[in-house]
């Protein structure tokens, strides 16, 4: 099956911890730290900017409050173009990124832009994919939802915070393929600018299910608005997430993990780049961030500087190959 490699690729994102760091410029301090979240408030990129910004300040790693700017559009493409074309040498700027970013770059969805136009800073963990329904939905399990899709694909719309062909979309295809739905292109996926907007449409009854990541779904779970019917993890998570069933335990062998991290403008100085790398590495190593990871269901993924740059490059090449196999790109 063509999507078998995709399931293995998603699982592989969680493997390995790299400790090597580049030479650090200890005297760098951003004058006006800013983080662009390439989506509307409430999604995973928004969480990445706001949580990391808050904890960098809490730990004294930055002296000023991180300004968070939501710049939605094009599955992250509007923000990418803004950084490349207008802010290419901004030393104070970082941008939230994830597997969705790599997917869009791999598929040529940011016209005229490429992975080499920015500098990749560091990862802050990996976020397991989830499939959820509204709290009052009659659907109780993942097989129930997939049976509905198998019997009548038009009857079920699944919303996500990435564009068609993006990472949220691919997670649904992974599950559908694992359940034996032969032509996964029939799965009806509706794209929104961020997970928060996708969940809003779910609650409004415009769609029947949501595909996203655990960190962006958690707030809506805590408020009682949605129910997670499957986590795309190899086994149940610990702590407060232990109540969420995995797809595997329901007979659907689907895995999906979304890395989270940051990129910076391509013209950022080496001193600023090394400084940001060190700050994010110090944050990742802190007990406070370990607690944040545990509370939000993030799995370990510890990559900085050149190692993270190589990891993203490999991910893009891998996703390009897979996307060709399933006909998303030629």
What's the CATH code of the domain at 66? 3.40.190.150
pLDDT at 132 over 90: yes
Q: Mean pLDDT across the stretch 29-49?
A: 94
pLDDT given at position 31:
95
| Higher per-residue confidence, 213 vs 325 | 213
Q: Mean pLDDT across the stretch 189-205?
A: 93
Q: Mean pLDDT across the stretch 26-34?
A: 89
Query: At 50, is the pLDDT very low, low, confident or very high (cuts 50, 70, 90)?
Result: very high
Phi, psi torsion values for 110, nearest 5 degrees: -105, 85
Q: Mean pLDDT across the stretch 139-166?
A: 94
pLDDT given at position 26:
58
Closest CA to 214 of 201, 226, 202: 226
- Picking from 250, 282, 307, the residue at the C-terminal end of a domain is 250
Question: In this structure, are 195 and 224 located in the same domain?
Answer: yes
> Which residue range forms the structural domain that includes residue 276?
15-126+258-325
Question: In this structure, are 121 and 232 located in the same domain?
Answer: no
Residue 315 in domain:
yes
Question: In this structure, are 299 and 212 located in the same domain?
Answer: no
Residue 2 in domain:
no
Residue 121 in domain:
yes
pLDDT at 32 over 70: yes
State the chain's mean pLDDT as an integer. 90
Question: 282-322 pLDDT, tens per residue?
Answer: 999 999 999 999 988 888 899 999 999 999 999 899 888 87
pLDDT given at position 23:
35
For β-strands 157-160 and 188-191, DSSP reports them as parallel
Question: In this structure, are 121 and 136 located in the same domain?
Answer: no
- Picking from 223, 250, 277, the residue at the C-terminal end of a domain is 250
Question: In this structure, are 203 and 280 located in the same domain?
Answer: no
pLDDT at 14 over 90: no
pLDDT at 16 over 50: no
Percent of the chain predicted with pLDDT > 90: 72
Query: At 17, is the pLDDT very low, low, confident or very high (cuts 50, 70, 90)?
Result: very low
Q: Which residues pair with 259 in a beta bridge?
A: 126
What's the CATH code of the domain at 159? 3.40.190.10
Residue 109 in domain:
yes
Residue 5 in domain:
no
Chain-centroid distance of CA 158 in Å reads 17
Question: In this structure, are 50 and 154 located in the same domain?
Answer: no
Question: In this structure, are 281 and 223 located in the same domain?
Answer: no
Residue 3 in domain:
no
Q: Mean pLDDT across the stretch 140-164?
A: 95
Q: Mean pLDDT across the stretch 105-121?
A: 95
Alpha helix (H) residue ranges in the chain: 4-12, 44-58, 77-86, 99-106, 142-151, 167-178, 195-203, 214-222, 270-285, 287-296, 305-325
Q: Mean pLDDT across the stretch 91-101?
A: 96
Question: In this structure, are 200 and 217 located in the same domain?
Answer: yes
Question: 166-189 pLDDT, tens per residue?
Answer: 889 989 998 998 999 988 888 999
Residue 108 in domain:
yes
Q: Mean pLDDT across the stretch 34-42?
A: 95
Question: In this structure, are 120 and 263 located in the same domain?
Answer: yes
Angle CA(248)–CA(173)–CA(123) in degrees, nearest 5?
A: 80
The total of structural domains in the chain comes to: 2
Residue 4 in domain:
no
C-alpha–C-alpha distance, residues 298 and 144, integer Å: 27
The widest CA-to-CA distance across the chain, in whole angstroms, is: 61
pLDDT given at position 306:
97
- Picking from 250, 268, 297, the residue at the C-terminal end of a domain is 250
Question: In this structure, are 211 and 158 located in the same domain?
Answer: yes
pLDDT at 7 over 70: no
Question: In this structure, are 244 and 162 located in the same domain?
Answer: yes
C-alpha–C-alpha distance, residues 319 and 264, integer Å: 22
C-alpha–C-alpha distance, residues 169 and 134, integer Å: 19
C-alpha–C-alpha distance, residues 14 and 85, integer Å: 33
Q: Mean pLDDT across the stretch 275-287?
A: 98
Query: At 92, is the pLDDT very low, low, confident or very high (cuts 50, 70, 90)?
Result: very high
Q: Is 137 helix (H, G, I), strand (E, B) or coil?
A: coil
Q: Mean pLDDT across the stretch 257-264?
A: 95
Question: In this structure, are 134 and 112 located in the same domain?
Answer: no
């Amino acid at each position: 099956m063509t999507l078998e490699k995709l399931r293995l690729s998603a699982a592989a994102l969680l493997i390995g911890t790299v400790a090597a760091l580049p030479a650090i410029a200890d005297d760098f301090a951003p004058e006006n730290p800013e983080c662009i979240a390439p989506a509307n408030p409430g999604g995973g990129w928004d969480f990445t900017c706001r949580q990391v910004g808050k904890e960098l300040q809490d730990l004294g790693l930055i002296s000023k409050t991180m300004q968070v700017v939501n710049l939605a559009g094009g599955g992250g493409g509007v923000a990418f173009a803004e950084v490349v074309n207008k802010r290419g040498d901004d030393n104070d700027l970082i941008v939230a990124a994830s597997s969705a970013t790599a997917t869009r770059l791999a598929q040529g969805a940011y016209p005229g832009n490429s992975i080499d136009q920015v500098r990749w800073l560091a990862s802050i963990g990996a976020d397991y994919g989830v499939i959820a329904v509204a709290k009052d939905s009659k659907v109780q399990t993942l097989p129930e939802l997939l049976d509905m899709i198998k019997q009548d694909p038009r009857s079920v719309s699944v919303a996500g915070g990435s564009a068609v062909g993006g990472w949220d979309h691919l997670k649904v295809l992974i599950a559908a393929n694992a359940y034996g739905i032969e032509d996964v292109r029939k799965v009806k996926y509706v794209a929104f600018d961020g997970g928060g907007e996708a969940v809003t449409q779910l609650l409004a009854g415009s769609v029947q299910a949501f595909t996203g990541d655990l960190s962006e779904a958690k707030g809506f779970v805590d408020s009682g608005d949605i129910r997670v019917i499957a986590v795309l993890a190899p086994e149940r998570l610990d702590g407060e997430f232990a109540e969420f069933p995995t797809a595997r335990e329901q007979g659907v062998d689907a895995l999906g993990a979304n890395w989270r991290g940051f990129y910076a403008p391509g013209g950022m100085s080496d001193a600023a780049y090394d400084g940001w790398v060190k700050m994010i590495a110090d944050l990742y190593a802190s007990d406070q961030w370990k607690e944040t990871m545990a509370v939000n269901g993030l799995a370990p993924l510890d990559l900085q500087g050149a190692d993270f740059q190589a990891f993203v490059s490999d991910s893009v090449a891998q996703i390009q190959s897979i996307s060709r196999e399933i006909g998303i790109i030629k």
